[in-house]
């Protein structure tokens, strides 16, 4: 099992918050530790983005807790009512939903068992929560976040390889359909995780003007990589739904499908490898010519099949969306290839690819 950067940051934030609370003489320090564990963020940008909103949410929770304890006491019903009101106000003023757990914690620790001098008691508890938030903020600043570009690229490459392998196994009648259906669900989940990593990468800030525009170009490029991977998965899902029709195709038709899919998946792999400098442009030119010729040949041949007795019209109609998705997949690949070509052709002094070797998850 590998421990990630966020796990270490959480542990350090808890430790720092405990030391600060003990040093300041605030009791019990465990409330500061709990607050720091909740407040740790995955990126430096989100740290700056959420620190003020976390403080605002805590003030809302603390204010409501003090008012309601002094007015209605601290019965469980009152605590629950204050929690509902705090969440409603946070959502109403459009603070980050991630601040809600901290606000709820503030309400509970203040309303837990108020002492005789309640204002000082509430101020002490509120101070503990702020110490936890401050400790998490300091740790997020001092310890650099993970490099999301490397993680994003390798996960995109891995997902694409899995999709392409299943696509070729399916069109060659070599896929185990139970395993494929199970893996399709995994690949769908993988795409959701890729979206989250992409957002974290997009949020990473560059503090030097030289890197700013290069980063903006890479954000566009990775967005297209993600779109293209999703389109490849959509092609696979379309083919999987039409397995029976594919099995009934005439041999010549099936070979044209297989050949074109081989061109598309190979082209996709080469684009991703070219981005990290493992292939050259001239190696792809011949493949692109074959792929374009294959598209024209497949389309012309498939349209001619409509009137042929070797295939039922309903079967022909049912397979048409799969052919359409293959064409759209090729268009997305061509757009991605154009972006990669532009990235390495223009502004070379600003465009730098920093991909480390693949790390184990």
Q: Which of 142, 157, 179 is the last residue of a domain?
A: 142
160 in Cβ contact with 266 (< 8 Å): no
127, 71: one domain = yes
Say what the alpha-carbon torsion angle 347, 349, 355, 356 is, to the nearest 10 degrees. Answer: 180
326, 187: one domain = yes
- Domain membership of residue 47 (yes or no) is yes
Walk along the chain (361 residues) and give the pLDDT tens digit of each residue: 455 667 778 888 889 889 998 998 888 888 888 888 877 777 666 666 677 787 888 889 888 988 888 888 878 888 899 999 999 998 888 887 878 888 888 888 888 766 567 777 778 878 888 888 888 888 877 775 567 888 889 999 999 999 999 999 999 888 888 999 999 999 999 999 999 989 888 876 654 445 666 778 888 999 999 999 999 999 999 999 988 888 877 788 888 889 999 999 999 999 998 888 777 665 567 788 888 888 888 888 888 877 777 777 787 888 888 889 999 999 999 999 999 888 888 765 555 566 666 554 4
Domain CATH number, residue 171 = 1.20.58.220
Domain residues for 231? 148-345
182, 303: one domain = yes
37, 118: one domain = yes
Distance from C-alpha of 204 to C-alpha of 14, rounded to nearest angstrom:
24
Q: Which of 142, 166, 200 is the last residue of a domain?
A: 142
239, 168: one domain = yes
152, 138: one domain = no
Domain count, the chain: 2
85, 194: one domain = no
- Domain membership of residue 357 (yes or no) is no
- Domain membership of residue 358 (yes or no) is no
- Domain membership of residue 361 (yes or no) is no
pTM above 0.75, yes or no: no
322, 232: one domain = yes
191, 129: one domain = no
């Amino acid at each position: 099992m590998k421990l990630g950067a966020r796990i270490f940051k959480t542990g350090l934030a808890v430790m720092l918050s405990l030391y600060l609370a003990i040093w300041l003489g605030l009791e019990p320090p465990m409330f500061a530790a709990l607050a720091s564990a909740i407040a740790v963020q995955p990126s430096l940008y989100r740290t700056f983005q959420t620190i003020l909103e976390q403080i605002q949410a805590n003030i809302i929770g603390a204010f409501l807790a003090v008012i309601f304890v002094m007015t209605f006491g601290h019965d469980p019903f009152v605590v629950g009512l204050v929690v509902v009101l705090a969440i409603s106000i946070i959502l109403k003023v459009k603070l980050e939903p991630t601040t809600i757990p901290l606000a709820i914690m503030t309400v509970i620790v203040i309303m837990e068992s108020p002492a005789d001098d309640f204002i000082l008691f509430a101020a002490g508890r509120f101070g503990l929560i702020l110490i936890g938030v401050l400790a998490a903020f300091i740790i997020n600043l001092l310890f650099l976040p993970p490099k999301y570009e490397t993680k994003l690229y390798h996960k995109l490459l891995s997902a694409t390889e899995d999709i392409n392998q299943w696509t070729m196994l399916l069109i060659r009648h070599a896929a185990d359909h139970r395993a494929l259906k199970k893996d399709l669900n995994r690949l769908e989940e993988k795409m959701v995780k890729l979206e989250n990593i992409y957002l974290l990468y997009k949020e990473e800030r560059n503090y030097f003007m030289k890197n700013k525009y290069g980063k903006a170009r890479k954000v566009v490029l990775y967005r297209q990589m993600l779109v293209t991977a999703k389109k490849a998965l959509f092609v696979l899902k379309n083919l999987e739904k039409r397995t029976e029709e594919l099995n009934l195709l005439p041999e010549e038709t099936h070979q044209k499908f297989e050949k074109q899919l081989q061109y598309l998946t190979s082209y996709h792999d080469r684009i991703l490898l070219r981005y990290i400098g493992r292939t050259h442009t001239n190696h792809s030119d011949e493949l692109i010519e074959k792929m374009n010729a294959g598209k024209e040949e497949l389309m012309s041949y498939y349209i001619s099949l409509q009137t042929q007795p070797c295939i039922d019209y309903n079967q022909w109609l049912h397979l048409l969306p799969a052919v359409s998705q293959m064409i759209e997949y090729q268009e997305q690949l061509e757009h991605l290839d154009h972006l990669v070509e532009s990235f390495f052709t223009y502004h070379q002094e600003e465009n730098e690819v920093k991909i480390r070797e693949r790390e184990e998850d």
